[in-house]
């Protein structure tokens, strides 16, 4: 059973999300929060698998709430998906840098939202297609930027470096397998080992590390 916490200051949004998850087998909503501080408190109390986090909320916003959740060692098993109506670049980058596992717009189809939660629980990263394009376009268009040393980078094999670069381009394990002429299982193993060596919380953080280190 996948446990979910809903954090949004709009009652109607939370009502709709709760109805969606409660109608789907394998999900249960363990708590709701109408502001950022309550989101952090309820997350610590219930320790859900996934928090669906709005950005604009009273008190502290969703980004700060996400930062506090990710920084809490007791919540290492909780993943955060930022769910918002705003597709501004700074929101995307900030959410990923502080440890969010996904970023989706609120007009995402219900089936896609459910699949997003499953993906994140399974250790994947979730960015809406338009958001992925935004991230890649923004980083590609930046002026030369200083490379930030990432601990563990020197431990990567040449193939793992190649795989991390492809992950940063938005490719799935299956697409990486096709590109490198290996099996999907082998591609998944390379991704997993790269995450372990770099200390990446999940696939989204692996993307951030790739750009920070200059691999992408």
Domains of the chain: 2-138 (3.40.50.2300), 153-213 (1.10.10.10)
Most confidently modeled range among 95-109, 111-125, 138-152, 188-202? 188-202
Write down the pLDDT at residue 126. Answer: 56
- Look over the chain and give the mean of its residue pLDDT values, rounded to a whole number: 83
Please check whether residue 59 is in contact with residue 35, taking contact to mean a CB–CB distance below 8 angstroms.
Answer: yes
Q: What pLDDT band is residue 193 in, cutting at 50, 70 and 90?
A: very high
Write down the pLDDT at residue 129. Answer: 47
pLDDT tens figures, 141-185: 554 555 667 778 889 999 999 999 888 877 888 889 999 999 989
Write down the pLDDT at residue 200. Answer: 81
Write down the pLDDT at residue 143. Answer: 44
pLDDT at 79 over 80: yes
The overall pTM is greater than 0.85 = no
CA pair distance 102, 204, nearest whole angstrom = 7
Please check whether residue 214 is in contact with residue 167, taking contact to mean a CB–CB distance below 8 angstroms.
Answer: no
- Of how many residues is the chain composed? 216
């Amino acid at each position: 059973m996948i446990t979910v916490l809903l954090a949004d200051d709009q009652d109607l949004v939370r009502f709709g999300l709760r109805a969606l998850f409660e109608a789907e087998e394998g999900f249960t909503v363990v708590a709701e929060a109408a502001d950022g501080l309550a989101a952090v408190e309820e997350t610590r109390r219930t320790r859900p698998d996934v928090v669906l986090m709005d950005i604009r909320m009273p008190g502290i916003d969703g980004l700060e709430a996400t930062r506090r959740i990710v920084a809490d060692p007791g919540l290492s098993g909780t993943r955060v998906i930022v769910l918002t109506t705003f597709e501004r670049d700074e929101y995307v980058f900030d959410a990923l840098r502080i440890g969010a596992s996904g970023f989706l717009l609120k007009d995402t189809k219900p089936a896609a939202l459910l699949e997003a939660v499953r993906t994140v629980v399974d250790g994947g990263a979730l960015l809406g297609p338009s958001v992925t394009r935004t991230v890649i376009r923004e980083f590609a268009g930046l002026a030369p930027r200083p490379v930030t040393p990432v601990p563990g980078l020197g431990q990567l094999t040449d193939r793992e470096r190649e795989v991390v670069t492809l992950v940063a381009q938005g490719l799935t394990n299956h697409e990486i397998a096709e590109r490198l002429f290996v099996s999907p299982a082998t591609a998944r193993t390379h991704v997993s080992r790269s995450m372990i060596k770099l200390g990446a919380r999940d696939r989204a953080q692996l993307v951030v590390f790739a750009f920070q280190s200059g691999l992408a």
